[in-house]
Amino acid sequence: MRKCVSALVLIAAALPTIPASAADTLAPELQPFAFLAGACWRASFPGGQMTNTHCFSPILNGHFLRDRHIVNNAPDPYRGETLYRWDPAARNIRWDYYSSDGMLMSGSAAGTDGGISFEISAVSPAGAASIAERISWRRDGADAYVVTTSVRENGAWRPRPGAMHFQRVGPAPAD
């Protein structure tokens, strides 16, 4: 019996370990993003000519979440990268977005009952005035989410037309 147990221990030690899911590696403060972690998601723009694909990967021991995206079939190749992080001083999730055209956006994010809400300040590459936006990512089942946007105009929040429906398309590529 001891030989069998010893043999099983040796066999178990030789087996590869199964990595934790990407969601399990995220810091507790970033758990509102857990459903996105480790996967790529795609949506079509109105008209169906262009698509937007986001791939989410926990990085640096799950203290940050990287979101790389690409707009396919755009007139110029357009890419962006967002880093999400916990800000202990502000006690919220902060993020910074950098794009291939030089735009920088920053803001905060918070978990909601059905997804994530974002507050945004956008700065154009030309340094024009910032634009105040609110964006909501609402889960739509296990493998989809819907993005809606509102913009502040004349002191009031107004919804932008055209929600985008993102569908899970596969795992995020390894770095």
In one letter, which amino acid is 20? A
CB 134 within 8 A of CB 120: yes
In one letter, which amino acid is 14? A
Neighbours of 132 (CB within 10 A): 15
d(CA 153, CA 107): 18
With bands split at pLDDT 50, 70 and 90, how would you rate the model's confidence at 122? low
d(CA 130, CA 113): 29
Residue boundaries of the structural domains of the chain = 19-171
**What is the predicted pLDDT for the residue at 167?**
97
With bands split at pLDDT 50, 70 and 90, how would you rate the model's confidence at 88? very high
Residue 96 structure tokens: 């910074």
Reply yes or no on domain 19-171 having CATH 2.40.128.20: yes
Residue 158 structure tokens: 């107004």
- Residue 73 dihedral angles phi and psi, to the nearest 5°: 70, 20
For the residues 93-119, what does the mean pLDDT come to? 92
Residue 114 structure tokens: 């059905």
pTM, entire model = 0.81
d(CA 22, CA 145): 18
Neighbours of 162 (CB within 10 A): 11
Among the residue ranges 57-61, 117-121, 140-144, the one predicted with the least confidence is 117-121
For the residues 10-32, what does the mean pLDDT come to? 61
Plot region of 154 (φ>0 → left; ψ -120 to 50 → alpha; else → beta): left
For the residues 42-62, what does the mean pLDDT come to? 93
Long-range contacts of the stretch 128-132 (C-beta < 8 A, 24+)? none
CB 69 within 8 A of CB 53: yes
Any bridge partners for residue 157, and if so which? 152
Residue 153 structure tokens: 């105009």
**What is the predicted pLDDT for the residue at 21?**
64
CB 174 within 8 A of CB 66: no
